């Protein structure tokens, strides 16, 4: 299959799809941390293209519920949030077979309910992060290995880090190798 993994610079999911034998193009404004075909720039420039599947991780900076309290204090965030929602909707409507990931937040209440909410511990990884998926012509993920350990991903951050560093760690999929493997196996 030809697969596009967009808005992912860690390369964790791209690598899992490549390991499963697929042709993968990753796309982000930053360089990829894993080897393989990578388009550095706006994903809308290459989509829908000839991809059989698109998996995307739209930035959650203005969409996550953890940031919603700031909208009353920072009106500029409302403009940025609306741009982020427009981007998600455009991706979803542009691609015939797509899976979009984001945490619980604005999309859940102001766009549509996620198709599925999963946790890394459902696939063997020891984390309890709530992950929402909006799926179009993609089957829901099935749990593969229930892990009784349920750690917070914030254990990898500390107060000496700035917000950008903490956000990058919390959003990195490199902590979920077993979940990435399950996605690559089940969606292809």
| Nearest C-alpha neighbor of 103 from the set 155, 52, 68 | 68
When pLDDT is cut at 50, 70 and 90, the band that residue 23 belongs to is very high
* Residue 85 and residue 106 in contact, taking contact as beta carbons nearer than 8 Å: yes
User: How much of the chain is helix, strand and coil, in % rounded to 5?
Assistant: 40, 20, 40
Q: What pTM does this model have?
A: 0.90
Query: Please, what is the angle between helix 12-19 and helix 177-186, to 10°?
Result: 50
Q: Which residues contact 121 (CB under 8 A, 6 or more apart)?
A: 127, 128, 146, 147, 148, 149, 150
Place of tokens 């829901």: 140
pLDDT at site 76: 86
- pLDDT for 141 beyond 70: yes
- pLDDT for 158 beyond 90: no
Instruction: Please tell me which residue, 104 or 75, carries the higher pLDDT value.
Output: 104
Angstrom distance (rounded) from CA 102 to CA 26: 18
3-class SS at 105? strand
Angstrom distance (rounded) from CA 83 to CA 73: 18
Angstrom distance (rounded) from CA 104 to CA 142: 20
Average pLDDT, rounded, for the chain: 90
User: 53: which strand partners?
Assistant: 3
pLDDT at site 45: 95
């Amino acid at each position: 299959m030809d697969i596009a993994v967009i808005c992912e610079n860690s390369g964790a999911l791209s690598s899992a799809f490549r390991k499963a034998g697929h042709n993968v193009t990753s796309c982000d404004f930053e360089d990829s941390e894993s080897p393989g075909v990578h388009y550095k720039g706006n994903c809308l420039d290459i989509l829908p293209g000839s991809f059989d599947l698109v998996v995307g991780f739209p930035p959650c900076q203005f969409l996550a519920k953890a940031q919603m309290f700031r909208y009353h204090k920072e009106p500029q965030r409302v403009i940025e949030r609306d741009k982020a929602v427009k981007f998600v909707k455009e991706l979803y409507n542009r691609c015939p077979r797509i899976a979009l990931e984001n945490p619980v937040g604005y999309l859940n209440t102001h766009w549509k309910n996620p198709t599925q909410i999963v946790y890394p511990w459902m696939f063997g990884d020891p984390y309890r992060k709530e992950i929402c998926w909006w799926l179009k012509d993609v089957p829901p993920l099935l749990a593969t290995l229930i892990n009784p350990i349920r750690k917070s991903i914030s254990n990898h951050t500390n107060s000496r880090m700035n917000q950008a560093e903490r956000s990058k760690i919390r959003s990195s999929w490199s902590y979920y190798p077993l979940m990435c493997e399950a996605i690559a196996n089940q969606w292809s």
